[in-house]
Structure 1
Amino acid sequence: MSETFQLGDWEVNTSLNSLSRNNTSVHLEPKMMDVLAYLSAHAGEVISTEQLLIEFWQGTFYGDAPVQKCIAMLRKKLGDNSRQPSYIETVQRRGYRIIANVVQLDERQRWGNLQKLTQWNQGSPYLGLQTFQPQHAAIFFGRNKAIAEVVHHLNQAMDDDFSFLLLMGKSGSGKSSLLRAGVIPFITRSEGLAGIKVQHYTVITPTRGKASSIFRQLLGALNDMGMLVDTWNLDAHAYDLSQHPSHLKALLKKSDSNSELNDSAPSRDSVARPNNLIVIDQFEQVLQDANLSKDDAASLISFLTVLVKTQRLILIVSLRNDFYANSMELEGFARLKDEGQQYDLQPPNATDIARMIRLPALSAGLSFEENLQTGEKLDEVLLEAAIGHPDALPLMEFTLDLLYQRRDKENTLLFSAFADIGGLEGAIAQQAESTYQSMSDTAKASWKSVMHELVTVNDVNQTGLIARKVPFEQFSDENDLAFIQQFVDARLFVTESDIAANEYASNTPPFDVKSNTRVCVAHEALLKHWDRITDWAQKNRAALLKRTELNTDCSRWLNAGQPQDMLLPSGRKLDDARWMAKQPHLHLTPQESLFIRLSEGRHKKTQRYKTTAIAALAILAVATTGLAIYSNNQTQLAVEQSHHAQVLRNKAESLVDYMLGDLRSQLEPIGKLDVLEGVGQKTLDYYAGIETGDGLRQANSLKLLAEININRGEFEDASEQLSQALNILNKQDTAPLKASYGLSKETSLEGIAAANATSQGTAQTSEQVLFLKGNIHYWIGVIAYFKQNYTTTIEEWTKYLNYSQQLLVLDELNPKWMLEVSSAQHNIGSLALRISQYQKASQSFRDSIALKRKMLMSQPNHSEVQTSLRGSLLGLVAVAFQTFEFREAEQLAQEAYTLAGKLLLENPDDYNIAYQTLSSANLLIQAQMSIGNTSGAEKTIADGVVLAQKLAKQEPENEAWMTKVATLMFFYWDYHLLFDTQEKKPAPELLNLTYAAFNKTKNLPIKQKIYSVKLGFENRENSQVILDIAKPSLDFNSESTPRLLWELHLKCRNHSCTLGEDTGKDVDRGERESLALAHLTSANTDKLSKDMNASLTEFYFLLVSSKRSAAKDVLLGLQKKGYLHPQLSDAVNRAKDDI
């Protein structure tokens, strides 16, 4: 073909690098000729600066100066004018375009200048069904135009001071690979690309889990980038941000160029461009996550918006086209998209596909076989088959990888191999079917069980199949494992660590790289092109939908804290769950099995209420009808003043009392919130229709509605209803009346407001008004508590206490009022303890304890009071420990433990009492060790192990129980770490109990404590105890982190390394970095209250800092206060002398 073409009136010769016209010849530099030929090959198209940089400078320049210079020189050679161009037009903010006529263009130029090839010797240059990663950039071809356009859109976004890009594309279009192996390698080079230079990046794929998990992933990325002020407790911050995304501003470090965080915005010219990048890949996972409510999703979008507005970070979100409509339903997403940029990734054209096929082969030294009869080459056949195919990329990569595996000795890809694998269309299906048929019959029998785990139905639109990533440990059957392994060997399934499964890829990785393995289908193309799967899915569609629904409901229940009202309701869902539990090929998770079992138990309990509830609902219908009749006719009745009118009113108000009292107590156990809401509203409607209302009943109805709204998280509506109720009650007569008026000791607290149903007119007892006022202030305090406004909570709960005390003054021998007062005191004490107001906490707990002891003098076997007393005693134990009253802490803990043990002896099959007893044992062990009573602690630990085994066997999925089990096992191992001098292996059942509890609990201090003991054994010579547990999060907690950091310090010291020094020894990087965290935390110890935790923090930090003498001084000070725990003396003995 000709090497010349006509550009306007110029003849261009690419081989001679010359332009000629009218006997005039002009010479061009080779680079200039390449650019001119490329622009001419795309005549009429706008070619961006970024695309030219990638094609001809390989992105090795930071900025677009070389392109501008080259275009200017071309115009000069062509005699062109930039203002009135005839050849090269500048398209503002987009790029350049050839506008002259181009003819006889050499077809080879349509490929443009090939990427600079790098020799590839790391196996197959084709990745099959796997995603390209940054390390595969050298073999990622055919997407230069897309890379350039993404970079161009990012530049436009940054110019608009809103660095957000939404990357759209269909499933299998290569969005993930484009970002990882295309865009990121270019913009993270030291020189950057086209004005973008990224120093730190993180790629995240959201995972299904707690609503706060995506926030935790994002905070982890920001922390890695050094953008956070406070890194102590990222889990807590993640939860807070999921509720209040605007709080992110306070967490971010301030920057001179950050107009969002500073009072005055800098000028545009002074703003540095963002050099951090976060990619949220596969954003459709958010849309598919049943754990994320609409409010959670809205908070996430608000969080991302705040993040982008800081102008310090580039945010790219990738999304499948078929989820676009769903994404637009998220509050704020459309605005986020509109303020940023959107790029729609198009399928590769013929030239792009040709590069994807041929250039990796050139890099790896491969060639394509030629058919000697037709002259056709294999790459041309592949190209023809791939052009226009909807799943071209995954099918082509998979086919090419199979061809690579079957290449000949001369590294030639063969036609015979192409035919053997079934061509482009049949490659995946044939490979999968061949793998399946090669299995033994026993392995084949695992088909159903494996597929039901790895494949599910799209739970957004319930159409199409999607792949699931499943923990490997979920498969225990040997045949299942054999099935999976054969598909992994065939590269049809992949296994990956949790970090890979989360797609958390960063150039500054997090501390903890230990994780469990997951298995998943390599690419969803397998689900579309293998007939065996599609046929199976069609036949089992109902079962797949049921399993998806169960998984969604169970996840919501788990992440909401396992509330009763989120268990499966009676009816179809529970019937489906029962059916699934009986299917041998459906391997339900332990959580799902527990979910079904508890739902079944709730169903049976509900059945006991069914008859009463149905009758209650029938009465409700009659009652509301009666209210309506009375309300509609009240005017006429009031005029008549007849005896009949008064009788009818008394009956109506009796119905109101029943609805607010007995009917409510019958509806609450079966979770009929909607009916309860109707009860409250009907009562309000009734009083709204008469001239003279009953304030107490109105207020009680408002309080009922408020409680329902609080349960739903609708705090603003609840606050308004409680305020209205208080206004009504403030008009009531609260003059003290005799306690016996309208009340009796048999009246329940919930029924007080509905008592005295025979009272007439508006006369009310002062007890009813006081009780209701106190309860309203309690609920106002609850709302403030949920909003973390603890000052307001204490104020409101103090008012609740005052009203309860007034009730007790009116009837000082009434045990119900005594219990009400003691409960109010306990609540205030618990909150004061949480916010380190120890004096207030101590007094509140002591007052509560005194009142409960008084009650037990008259009713010594009252189990409710005994349980409540145990709780208050343990609260005072915690206060005493923090205020250095260790002897008192031990005495109080012993009393609480004895009380719990007595109740357990009387009720040996009550597991809740066993749980309370174990809780008491844990605090008693802590108190005993703190005063050096090691023999007492040893006995309590032994008794506690029995309780722990009992609870773990009964409900291994109960997180609250397993947290107490984990605490007990920490004390067990810590005791043996200090005193067991025999180098013997521990009992396997205790190790297994520890692992089960450690893995189940989400309590960070407990996890850190157990990990501290693990390190302690590793730091002892000849120890036979090996605790095989993963390192927990290193977020700072004053209760547990200092001890953990000390053990990490010892481990690092034993490997002969010092802080910040890389000795080349096999020392986990996270351990060295956690020591750096220790020093960071040490600089902030003034934030801690001056309590026992602060003293222990100071002690361990001094040891880590090699200040042994100062640490000994702290130890002596604690010993003078009575703290004799042997752990501190042991630590001092193992510490080095001062440096």
Structure 2
Amino acid sequence: MNAPEAGNAQEGGVEASGRHYHAFISYSHADEVAAGNLHRWLEGYRIPARLVGTRTERGTVGSRISPIFRDRAELPAASCLDSEVERALAHSGALLVLCSPEAASSRWVNAEIGLFRRLHPDRPLIAALLRGEPAESFPPALVMPGPDGTPREPNAADFRRDKDGRHLARLKIVAGLTGLGLDHIIQRDAQRQMRRVIGITALAICLALAMALMLVFAIRAQREADEQRRQAEGLIEFMLTDLRDKLKGVGRLDVLQTVNERALGYYAEQSDLANLPADSLERRARILHAMGEDDHRRGDVAGAQAKFEEASRVTAALLAAAPQDPERIYAQAQSEFWLGYVVFMGFHPREALPHFRAYRALAGKLVRIAPKNPDYRHELGYAQGNLCSVGLDERGDPALLPECKAALETMLQVSRMEPGNRAIEADLANRHAWYGDALHKQGDDRAALVEREKQLAIAQDLRAFDPKNATYRVSWLLAQHSTSLLRYALGDRGEAQRMRAEARAELARLVASDPENNDWKLWQKRLAEPWPKDMVH
């Protein structure tokens, strides 16, 4: 096998003297398809132009991450496996291990890890978790204690759908191989994809003009234009939904502001709903909901209101065309929620009631259509919780307080339907909190404390599960703060003071990490206020 010369390594991701391969991929035969896909993607991935030339601990970042060695795929049939693998490992700048239950039990994978560590104790070793839990999928050689007896914790990219997912996991691997910061790669990659969207959109416009002059090719050209549009809108939706959710988990909503503005410009020219197909209308509504939420978090209430109203215009048109379609009922329910939410957060709870009641009616209709669908019952729990919030507000309607218990009971049903779902656990914690507030409003602080402590226990578990997740951290600190208020009211002043101080410290760390998040700054002001007089008995 003729390996490339070390002097050519600069054409890969990082200049590295004495390395023939940028990385060595180790995997079980059961994961051969995944290994091949990842290998092709990594060698075809181009580092964003603005990051090329950056100096990191891995060296100078080049334009590509190549070549990459994939054992059992690059070896000639007549080769001696041991000698070829040893030579490839000796000339590799990093080891990438694809982890699965089969890989954990593979003696070849474990042997390759052990050999790489002996040859290059100072070079990076990256774990890519394909399936299974870490305890059953990490090869023993990967996590065995080091020479000093300290257990090793390898850098991990989690490909599972409910964790990093394929796209973010791949970018984590790029970060590990190049030494670049993950935030920089995500931001530059998103900007690059947006430039591609703009290019595709411009090409679609040019094609449309050309097709007007060539009627004979009208049908074929129309199909091409539709595909171009779907690709452009699909990329926009990815950046404003999937990528947005990932960045929301680490408190980096500011990265998406430029994307939001460009996407809004893309759709601003398409105001005639009659000329758009149904799938474009549905995608447009979802994007407007996401953009409105981001605007509201940054404190742009007027911008959020405008986007939610436009989304409602879209979803209402869809529902009018198919009033029994569950997806369209769901989409209109989201519009009603967001319209009510922005009014409610503007301290007008009674004005939000028509929207929240409409949301409750639509969610109830979904449950009647499909009683065993956990997502629809989940929506019902949300809708009941919104009415509960109006009942709890001092300007709201106390007659709605029974909705707090109803919301908790519904969310308990959803939790039993989908055990272990972290998102549902977070929502269940909120329902315990609201029911506790309802009990406090009715004068039963002892019972209210029981519900708040249930909320705090769930929030603590979620925070321990993912300590870097900003959403979980906010849920925990708010639960900590609210529980401290009840303890203070019941006379446990010392514990209340301690809990509130911990909540303030965590919130200060969050605000420092993302100063653009208006919601966090508002909570920081509230937690700085003295103890409420009505909490003192």
Q: CA separation in 2, counterparts of 1:724 and 1:982?
A: 60
Contact 1:921 1:940 in 2 (8 A): yes
- 2:458 aligned to 990, 993, 997, which one? 997
After superposition, where does 1:637-716 map in structure 2 within 5 Å?
715=190
Which residue does 1:329 correspond to in 2?
123
Q: CA separation in 2, counterparts of 1:288 and 1:1069?
A: 48
Does the alignment pair 1:1132 with 2:516? no
- 2:141 aligned to 461, 464, 489, which one? 461
Contact 2:281 2:314 in 1 (8 A): yes
Task: Give the superposition deviation at 1:803.
Answer: 5.1
Which residue does 2:288 correspond to in 1?
825
Q: 1:889 to 1:552 in 2, by over 3 A?
A: farther
Report the secondary structure of 2:207's partner residue.
coil
Which residue does 1:802 correspond to in 2?
268
Alignment-mate amino acid for residue 141 of structure 2: N
Which residue does 2:530 correspond to in 1?
1103
Q: 1:986 to 1:1009 in 2, by over 3 A?
A: closer
Q: CA separation in 2, counterparts of 1:735 and 1:771?
A: 19
Report the secondary structure of 2:361's partner residue.
helix
Does the alignment pair 1:556 with 2:350? no
Which residue does 1:725 correspond to in 2?
200
Q: CA separation in 2, counterparts of 1:918 and 1:942?
A: 10
Contact 2:489 2:536 in 1 (8 A): no
Task: Give the superposition deviation at 1:858.
Answer: 3.5
Contact 2:388 2:400 in 1 (8 A): yes
Task: Give the superposition deviation at 1:961.
Answer: 0.9
Q: CA separation in 2, counterparts of 1:245 and 1:1010?
A: 43
Does the alignment pair 1:848 with 2:301? no
Q: CA separation in 1, counterparts of 2:385 and 2:426?
A: 11
Contact 1:882 1:1093 in 2 (8 A): no
Task: Give the superposition deviation at 1:860.
Answer: 1.8
Which residue does 1:1019 correspond to in 2?
488
Task: Give the superposition deviation at 1:915.
Answer: 1.5
Q: Write 1 or 2 for the structure with the bigger share of helix.
A: 2
Task: Give the superposition deviation at 1:861.
Answer: 1.4
- The farther-off stretch of 954-963 and 921-930 is 921-930
- Normalised to the residue count of structure 1, the TM-score between the two structures is 0.29
Q: 1:857 to 1:289 in 2, by over 3 A?
A: same
Which residue does 1:500 correspond to in 2?
none
After superposition, where does 1:941-980 map in structure 2 within 5 Å?
941-980=404-443
Contact 1:736 1:810 in 2 (8 A): no
Alignment-mate amino acid for residue 207 of structure 2: Q
Task: Give the superposition deviation at 1:775.
Answer: 4.7
Which residue does 1:882 correspond to in 2?
345
Contact 1:732 1:769 in 2 (8 A): no
Q: CA separation in 1, counterparts of 2:504 and 2:338?
A: 35
Which residue does 1:1010 correspond to in 2?
479
Q: CA separation in 2, counterparts of 1:867 and 1:1073?
A: 41
Alignment-mate amino acid for residue 329 of structure 1: R
Q: CA separation in 1, counterparts of 2:421 and 2:330?
A: 21
Which residue does 2:19 correspond to in 1?
none
Contact 2:343 2:351 in 1 (8 A): yes
Report the secondary structure of 1:328's partner residue.
coil
Report the secondary structure of 2:332's partner residue.
helix
- The farther-off stretch of 790-799 and 997-1006 is 997-1006
Contact 1:722 1:780 in 2 (8 A): no
Task: Give the superposition deviation at 1:937.
Answer: 3.7
Contact 2:194 2:235 in 1 (8 A): no
Report the secondary structure of 2:481's partner residue.
helix
Cα distance per residue 1:192-233 (max 9 Å; x no partner): xxxxxxxxxxxxxxxxxxxxxxxxxxxxxxxxxxxxxxxxxx
Report the secondary structure of 1:789's partner residue.
helix
Report the secondary structure of 1:860's partner residue.
coil
Q: 1:463 to 1:565 in 2, by over 3 A?
A: closer
Contact 1:825 1:845 in 2 (8 A): yes
The CA RMSD measured in Å over matched residues stands at 5.5
Q: CA separation in 1, counterparts of 2:488 and 2:497?
A: 17
Task: Give the superposition deviation at 1:967.
Answer: 0.6
Task: Give the superposition deviation at 1:904.
Answer: 0.9
Which residue does 1:509 correspond to in 2?
none
Does the alignment pair 1:870 with 2:472? no
Q: CA separation in 1, counterparts of 2:349 and 2:124?
A: 54
Alignment-mate amino acid for residue 266 of structure 2: Y
Q: 1:557 to 1:936 in 2, by over 3 A?
A: farther
Report the secondary structure of 2:139's partner residue.
coil
Alignment-mate amino acid for residue 459 of structure 1: P
After superposition, where does 1:565-584 map in structure 2 within 5 Å?
none
Which residue does 2:376 correspond to in 1?
913
Contact 2:484 2:500 in 1 (8 A): no
After superposition, where does 1:305-344 map in structure 2 within 5 Å?
323=117, 325-330=119-124
Contact 2:293 2:304 in 1 (8 A): yes
The count of aligned residue pairs is: 389
Contact 1:886 1:931 in 2 (8 A): no
Q: CA separation in 1, counterparts of 2:324 and 2:369?
A: 11
Q: CA separation in 1, counterparts of 2:136 and 2:280?
A: 55
Q: CA separation in 1, counterparts of 2:166 and 2:367?
A: 28
Which residue does 1:922 correspond to in 2?
385
- 2:297 aligned to 826, 834, 837, which one? 834
Report the secondary structure of 2:208's partner residue.
coil
After superposition, where does 1:65-76 map in structure 2 within 5 Å?
none
Q: CA separation in 1, counterparts of 2:320 and 2:326?
A: 13
Alignment-mate amino acid for residue 381 of structure 2: L
Alignment-mate amino acid for residue 530 of structure 2: L
Q: CA separation in 1, counterparts of 2:156 and 2:235?
A: 34
After superposition, where does 1:617-628 map in structure 2 within 5 Å?
none
Report the secondary structure of 1:909's partner residue.
coil
Q: CA separation in 1, counterparts of 2:417 and 2:379?
A: 15
Q: CA separation in 2, counterparts of 1:801 and 1:771?
A: 13
Alignment-mate amino acid for residue 791 of structure 1: Q
Cα distance per residue 1:106-161 (max 9 Å; x no partner): xxxxxxxxxxxxxxxxxxxxxxxxxxxxxxxxxxxxxxxxxxxxxxxxxxxxxxxx
Cα distance per residue 1:744-777 (max 9 Å; x no partner): xxxxxxxxxxxx9x945x6767666655555555
Alignment-mate amino acid for residue 725 of structure 1: I
Q: CA separation in 2, counterparts of 1:825 and 1:832?
A: 10
Which residue does 2:324 correspond to in 1?
861
Contact 2:312 2:336 in 1 (8 A): yes
Alignment-mate amino acid for residue 124 of structure 2: L
After superposition, where does 1:364-763 map in structure 2 within 5 Å?
459=139, 461=141, 556=158, 561-562=162-163, 715=190, 718=193, 721-722=196-197, 725-726=200-201, 728-734=203-209, 759=219
Cα distance per residue 1:1088-1111 (max 9 Å; x no partner): 8888973x754553425xxxxxxx
Q: CA separation in 2, counterparts of 1:931 and 1:837?
A: 25
Which residue does 2:47 correspond to in 1?
none
Task: Give the superposition deviation at 1:957.
Answer: 1.0
Which residue does 1:792 correspond to in 2?
258
Contact 2:367 2:376 in 1 (8 A): yes
Contact 2:404 2:434 in 1 (8 A): yes
| Paired-residue identity, % | 11
Q: CA separation in 2, counterparts of 1:821 and 1:1075?
A: 38
Q: CA separation in 1, counterparts of 2:311 and 2:275?
A: 19
Alignment-mate amino acid for residue 731 of structure 1: C
Task: Give the superposition deviation at 1:901.
Answer: 1.6
Q: CA separation in 2, counterparts of 1:288 and 1:996?
A: 37
